[in-house]
Structure 1
Amino acid sequence: MANFLYRLGRGAFRRRGRVLLVWLGMLVVVAAGAALASGPSDEEFSMPGIESQKAFDLMEERFPGTAADGATARVVFVAPNGQQVNVGDLRKAVEDAVGSMGFGPQVAGVADPFESQAVSRDGSTAYATVTYKVESDDVTDASRAAVNKAAERARAAGLTVETGGSAMDSGGGPGGTAELIGLSAAAVVLLFTFGSLAAAGLPLLTAIVGVAVSLFSIVLLAGPLGLSADTLTLGMMLGLAVGIDYALFVVSRYREERGRGRAAQEAAGVAVGTAGSAVVFAGVTVVIALAGLSVVGIPTLTKMGMAAAGAVTIAVLVALTVVPALLGYWPDAVLARKVRKARTLDRDRVLLPIGGAPSAGGRGNLGTLWARFVLRRPMAVLILGVVALVALAVPVVSLQLGMPGDEAKSTATTERRAYDALAEGFGPGFNGPLTIVVDARGSADPKAAVRTVHDRIGDTAGIVSVSQARFNQAGDTAVFRATPSTSPTDEKTKDLVETIRRDRSAVEKQASATFEVTGTTALNIDIAAKVQSALVPYLAVVGGLAVVLLLLVFRSVLVPVKAALGFVLSVLAALGVLVLVFQEGHAADLFGVEQTGPIMSLMPIFMMGIVFGLAMDYEVFLVSRMREAYTHGESADQAIVSGFRHSARVVTAAALIMIAVFSGFIGEQGGLIKMLGFGLAAAVLFDAFVVRMAIVPAVLALLGDRAWWLPSRLGRVLPRVDVEGQALDHARPAGPGRDPDGPVEARV
């Protein structure tokens, strides 16, 4: 692979115009397609095989056209303190607003709160439900404006009016603020790392190219594949992070090879053959982990994982082709100023690698100093790092999974205020009623059977009210709502659903009919349970995959095991911090979390998949340089120092860039993206700086030569994966005048 990538890098450098033209053409094609596409959708989560989904499917079959009706808007009216919405002028203001909304565009109908009994017992609160002829994605701004205009007139009469519902969510993709924050922070880190505007700008430019191709492709496929807006944001988040990092590794190795005296084209080839090999391996691990999300069985999760994997694949291809192509146009611009000056003043000098290759007695750079510090105190560093991560991971034992709704939004939003008003007026369970679907087909008296189920559910402790049953046209299936006394995300609501299902056999025997529990609340509970049950198996699969892949790369038994255990520690620590902030509320204000609650069901699985790939990035880039030094004759301890001397600064910069990019998304309004940005930033922080920079060298120092042990029989079976580019040492040795297609850069 190293030889192939070496030729690819040289070819891209030499035929730079063609390479850039191909990518430009690809960008134009997908951009044109995206402009004509329908864009991302607001797809609901679904999971085949769970009860709530099965019940929803039954509703679609027995109540055709009603289980998945068009969009709805809910307008909540709250009277001033001590007054009632159903009396006098306030009632007239509500009726006028309801009448006005009925004439809005795309409106199918409006439920008058006074006719539909949608008024609280104390008369303080009422709500009107507006149904539309179209789905939420197709609701126009004019339709939303009509609702808002009617609400404003009701406010003028003294009412407090808030709006919510799927029709009032304008959707939209990423706002751009998060990306600007991440790019700005990345630019500062790159400039500090490289000391060159060109070197700092090149990874940013290539990352933007890759992200643009990825996002336009996702938008193009969003309609046919049913991709959501969160998929678009996830693709942008990962595309930016890995795109900058992968280009950073290639540019850094190019600068190092130029410092060794290689010609520009030769240095580009070696950089792609060595750092590019690690980029390919790291990218493949991320892609495998993301594609592996399909085994969980949630279609939405599968689509998001595959789209993100596509963005990572594009980032790898850009790093391998566009980066060397741009280096062909500006071969010296990416070098540090002092290096360019040294080349101008003394062209007969062979320069040392960037970062310095100090003499045996020299102090070296910060990476060297840190490695030597760890070598002197490996046990202390190991114990401190492990204890710290384990302590942060402890809150995982109280992890609660769910799907927060409007209650998790900012109080500055009208959706959140509408949620709170309904909870106060009608009880906390009003926002998450359970839907009971009764299948009385085959029953001698369907109405009596439904009545029995209805009464037994209504008598269940924790249910405050049940609605009248609504039958289908055939009269053999009925649906009614049961309102819990607790909120949708309360653990007591989860216990209530489990109680109803546990007592089901006795109720069904009495009624001679079957029933199932569904609705948004039950669906979220079922998804959370399914995801939670998949966490340990998925973690085992991903960890096992890490061992196998690293066994191929490093040809060592203990290094892969150490890497997999470190990955598990960093993921659990990040999940623990996520629980502390988003579930328990510690330092919640600092991160803009206004309402604590369960962790979104998809978060742990997403974090495991993504962090697995990112952890392997740092493992490969750092440890591969150690193995390279070890195989060239250095002692085990000195190989650790050499690896840190060459890679610590670049890995540190890469980690800081990823943390900056992910942290930028903490300010997003979407709950999943907000949590994902925070969780990934924390995971990268722990994995890069605690696991890879501290625990890894400490373990290697304690193991010594045993770290690189591989049974001879296993060594004969395993294929050789040349991530370090050892084959290039034999194919094209370093030194002046080795590049037939480029100028001689240095002479001895």
Structure 2
Amino acid sequence: MTASAPDTVCPAPPGTPPPPGALHRFGRWCARRARRVIVAWLLVLVAAFAADRAWGGAYEDEFSLPGTTAQEGADLLREHGSDLEGVGAQIVLRADGPLAAHRAAIDDAMGELANLPDVLTVAGPLGTPGALSTDGTIGYATVRFAENPATFDRSYVDAVDTAVAELRADDVTVEYGGTLGQLARPEAAHGLSEVIGLATAVIVLLIGFGSTAAAGLPLVTAVVGLLGGLSVLGLIAAAFTFGSAAPTLATMMGLGVGLDYALFLTTRHRGLLASGVPPEEAAGRTLATSGRAVLVAAATVAMALAGLYASGVAFIGTLGLAAAITVLVAALASLTLTPALLGLLGRRIDRWSVRRPVAESEGADDTWRRWAATVGRRPWLFLTAGLLILGVLSVPLASMRIGHIDAGASPAGYTERQAYDLISDGFGPGTNGPLTVVVAPAGSGKDTDRVAADVRESLQRTPGVASVTRPAYTPDRALLTATVVPHHGPQDESTTQLVHRLEDEVLPKTLDGTGSRAYVTGTTAVHVAFRDVLVERLPWIVAVVVGAAFLLLLCVFRSLLVAVKAALLNLLSISAAYGVVVAVFQWGWGGRLFGVTESVPVESYVPMMMFAIVFGLSMDYEVFLLARIRETWLETGDNHESVAGGLAATARVISCAAIVMTSVFLAFLLSTNVVIKMLALGLGVSVVIDATVVRLLLVPATMYLFGRANWWLPRWLDRLLPRLDPEGTTVRSGQESRA
């Protein structure tokens, strides 16, 4: 009996391709079981939508700023039962003659308002010192609510209208200010921006693909992913507080990246079909190549948005989380539903053509390759031109003024804007943003009276102060409170300076040696504190997001120069987008074209949000372009050919994707919310800059200049870094030069 030979593993013949990976196999599985995947998505979508309708939460702008004097003052007022607790809003009245002539109607209206649900107190214009203009024709009632009225159901406005109906019948103009005015805003045309964005996307995709079926596939995937993401966000909002801008921001991001991701996958799939690959195998290869790039891109965007938590302000972090949720769900839909639909369509993807269909493989060596060759012949010229364009666009950034946009920037027909203007006319613009000074006296009796007198005298002498009320005790006589009216409106830079002057100089100097402490609080002071916190922490956000993206690109592309260059170029791109926002909204260059009738500061959280979003989206295109360049580099080892081939293979689809995403963002300029307009313009401009100046000029120019050094990585660092290969390629020895 002879012993059998041990089992041996025969090496694969040279040139044998590696076995399909997990993504490749998953893509084929989705294509082969297309109906199961589609039905599963429909069931999940219906269940998520129903759950959101049944248990979804609401969105409201609430935030706390621990450690700030504004927050400490507000906490003290709440703790000691001040009549300033709750959320205040103004109801502004105007008559052709003295309001006192309408006393009976005013008293009845104040009584009706006091009986409304969630109303804590009502202070009418005739019985409250300072609430009536000098000529007696304009006055305001201050209504304090247990909760923020902006979060109430719109039917609450009907109840308020009923309460003041007798006043209007008595020829008294009634307007709602503050958070009550926000609730009373006309209902926006829901979905109009989304419809315009999708309609533009249809036109662009039809032109780009030439086929109705191919153009419709990214739209279906993006809409399914968006609806699923918003439903998930609504469910999470039941447990966490999200700002009122969260669903709009999430829609912008989810729809934009959903269209882009499905577009890249569909384009790659059609290129494989054109080269003779069977549909199911093409779906597998698409997921193994471009699908990996989608994974890296989505992870980069989500990581950048998650970096907003480095601000330490939950309000900002949750806005980033809201956008990240729809981005991740959009990526999930692209990676599952797209291959399923591709498998279902098979070779019928070019049905219902509106012109001769164009596949990825076509045109790769004509216009864009000639452009790449042109850049390669004069890289220094194109590098200089690109940097000059970004530099000019960035000039306004140096004068950026960060602040809070008040109701004075709302559309002229809104009741909150009417109330704002009436208050400004009758009492001065500063009355729209009064400050509350809270004093915690150390003594009692005459000592406290002396402190109150000194505080009032110091406040009256302070430049920028229009008026000061006499300090009054809280019900438990533990605190003194006084109202300070600035000369200028809440969003004016002088008002911000006044808050800082009171906090840092006037009040500390007045109370020095008394043991008493003072705090400046109120809505305007809270917004100033919010601005200060975000400005202070913006560098941390930049460091966290740029650092994380640098490490991710380092792991993916195994190149120091590629990662450093990507980070620096994206920073320049963001600076240019900031500059455009400042020029339009702060300088007023063309602001009226977007429905902004006056110059406004840049909203305090816009720079932080823009940075995270723009950096993430810029990395999207960076990943797709560099992945194709690296793929060619690994095949040829020729840097010049790699740059030209990668640019030629992706320029058309990146340009198409950029037009689609830009149209989605710019469609939100129709919003009546100035902050949403600001984000929409900034994001839309950033995509245009990134897809043109950065991708078509700066990236190829720098990569031509760096040559083989593009792919250099120290050996010790290569051993430390994990391998993340976005296109599923295998690193071949000798093709990457390392120290």
Confirm or deny a common fold (TM above 0.5): yes
Partner Cα separation in structure 2 for residue 719 and residue 657 of structure 1: 34
Shift of 1:98: 4.3
Paired residue type of 1:323: T
Contact 2:213 2:351 (C-alpha < 8 Å) held by counterparts: no
Shift of 1:433: 0.8
Partner Cα separation in structure 1 for residue 379 and residue 353 of structure 2: 36
Q: Secondary structure at the match of 1:594?
A: coil
Paired residue type of 2:90: R
Partner Cα separation in structure 1 for residue 296 and residue 311 of structure 2: 24
Paired residue type of 2:645: S
Q: 1:654 aligns with which of 628, 652, 657?
A: 657
Shift of 1:723: 1.4
Say if 2:693 is the partner of 1:690. Answer: yes
Say if 2:166 is the partner of 1:164. Answer: no
Partner Cα separation in structure 2 for residue 338 and residue 166 of structure 1: 52
Shift of 1:96: 5.7
Structure 1 match to 2:58: 40
Q: Secondary structure at the match of 2:206?
A: helix
Contact 1:48 1:54 (C-alpha < 8 Å) held by counterparts: yes
**Structure 1: which 5+ residue stretches go unaligned?**
343-351, 359-363, 731-748
Contact 1:8 1:320 (C-alpha < 8 Å) held by counterparts: no
Paired residue type of 1:539: V
Structure 1, residues 270-296: CA drift from partner, whole Å, max 9, x if none?
A: 101110111110111111111110110
Paired residue type of 1:680: L
Structure 2 match to 1:423: 424
Say if 2:221 is the partner of 1:209. Answer: no
Shift of 1:134: 5.4
Say if 2:139 is the partner of 1:123. Answer: no
* Identity score, percent: 39
Contact 2:93 2:174 (C-alpha < 8 Å) held by counterparts: yes
Structure 1, residues 714-735: CA drift from partner, whole Å, max 9, x if none?
A: 33333322212214999xxxxx
Structure 2 match to 1:496: 498
Report the RMSD for the aligned CA atoms in angstroms: 2.7
Q: 1:240 aligns with which of 255, 259, 273?
A: 255
Shift of 1:665: 0.9
Structure 2 match to 1:31: 49
Change (3 A) 1:501 1:110: closer
Change (3 A) 1:142 1:531: closer
Structure 2 match to 1:75: 91
Change (3 A) 1:107 1:78: same
Structure 1 match to 2:380: 379
Partner Cα separation in structure 2 for residue 165 and residue 357 of structure 1: 57
Q: 1:508 aligns with which of 494, 508, 511?
A: 511
Structure 2 match to 1:293: 308
Contact 1:196 1:336 (C-alpha < 8 Å) held by counterparts: yes
Structure 1 match to 2:124: 112
Partner Cα separation in structure 1 for residue 20 and residue 402 of structure 2: 44
Partner Cα separation in structure 2 for residue 519 and residue 134 of structure 1: 16
Structure 2 match to 1:482: 484
Say if 2:616 is the partner of 1:606. Answer: no
Say if 2:601 is the partner of 1:584. Answer: no
Paired residue type of 2:220: L
Structure 2 match to 1:345: none
Structure 2 match to 1:743: none
Which is further off, 541-550 or 573-582? 541-550
Q: Secondary structure at the match of 1:632?
A: helix
Contact 1:332 1:340 (C-alpha < 8 Å) held by counterparts: no
Structure 1 match to 2:6: none
Shift of 1:78: 2.5
Q: Secondary structure at the match of 1:333?
A: helix
Partner Cα separation in structure 2 for residue 650 and residue 105 of structure 1: 56
Structure 1 match to 2:461: 459
Change (3 A) 1:450 1:131: same
Q: Secondary structure at the match of 2:99?
A: coil
Partner Cα separation in structure 2 for residue 596 and residue 340 of structure 1: 46
Shift of 1:157: 4.5
Q: Secondary structure at the match of 1:114?
A: coil
Contact 1:441 1:477 (C-alpha < 8 Å) held by counterparts: no
Contact 1:546 1:563 (C-alpha < 8 Å) held by counterparts: no
Change (3 A) 1:233 1:142: closer
Partner Cα separation in structure 2 for residue 476 and residue 29 of structure 1: 53
Partner Cα separation in structure 1 for residue 423 and residue 30 of structure 2: 61
Structure 1 segment 620-699 matched on structure 2, within 5 A: 620-633=623-636, 635-699=638-702
Which is further off, 640-649 or 438-447? 438-447
Partner Cα separation in structure 2 for residue 398 and residue 270 of structure 1: 50
Structure 1, residues 647-686: CA drift from partner, whole Å, max 9, x if none?
A: 1111011111110111011111223222111110111111
Structure 1, residues 449-507: CA drift from partner, whole Å, max 9, x if none?
A: 33432332233222121223332343121222111111111111122122212223321
Structure 1 match to 2:14: none
Shift of 1:119: 0.6
Contact 1:173 1:229 (C-alpha < 8 Å) held by counterparts: no
Q: 1:200 aligns with which of 192, 215, 220?
A: 215
Paired residue type of 1:32: A
Q: Secondary structure at the match of 2:141?
A: strand
Shift of 1:132: 4.5
Contact 2:442 2:515 (C-alpha < 8 Å) held by counterparts: no
Partner Cα separation in structure 2 for residue 191 and residue 182 of structure 1: 14
Partner Cα separation in structure 1 for residue 438 and residue 606 of structure 2: 30
Structure 1, residues 616-661: CA drift from partner, whole Å, max 9, x if none?
A: 1111111211111121115222222211221111101111111011
Change (3 A) 1:393 1:297: same
Change (3 A) 1:153 1:38: farther
Structure 1, residues 407-453: CA drift from partner, whole Å, max 9, x if none?
A: 12111211111101101110111011111111125557444433432
Q: 1:562 aligns with which of 562, 565, 568?
A: 565
Count how many residue pairs are aligned between Structure 1 and Structure 2.
710
Which is further off, 90-99 or 592-601? 90-99
Partner Cα separation in structure 1 for residue 20 and residue 260 of structure 2: 20
Q: Secondary structure at the match of 2:237?
A: helix
Shift of 1:159: 4.0
Partner Cα separation in structure 2 for residue 96 and residue 55 of structure 1: 34
Change (3 A) 1:607 1:697: same
Q: Secondary structure at the match of 2:418?
A: helix
Structure 1 segment 309-458 matched on structure 2, within 5 A: 309-335=324-350, 354-356=360-362, 364-441=365-442, 445-458=447-460
Structure 1 match to 2:11: none
Paired residue type of 2:437: I
Structure 2 match to 1:272: 287
Change (3 A) 1:23 1:48: farther
Partner Cα separation in structure 2 for residue 22 and residue 174 of structure 1: 32
Say if 2:197 is the partner of 1:182. Answer: yes
**Structure 2: which 5+ residue stretches go unaligned?**
1-18, 734-739
Structure 2 match to 1:346: none
Which is further off, 676-685 or 220-229? 220-229
Shift of 1:340: 12
Contact 1:119 1:126 (C-alpha < 8 Å) held by counterparts: yes
Partner Cα separation in structure 2 for residue 441 and residue 8 of structure 1: 71
Say if 2:243 is the partner of 1:225. Answer: no
Partner Cα separation in structure 2 for residue 58 and residue 134 of structure 1: 18
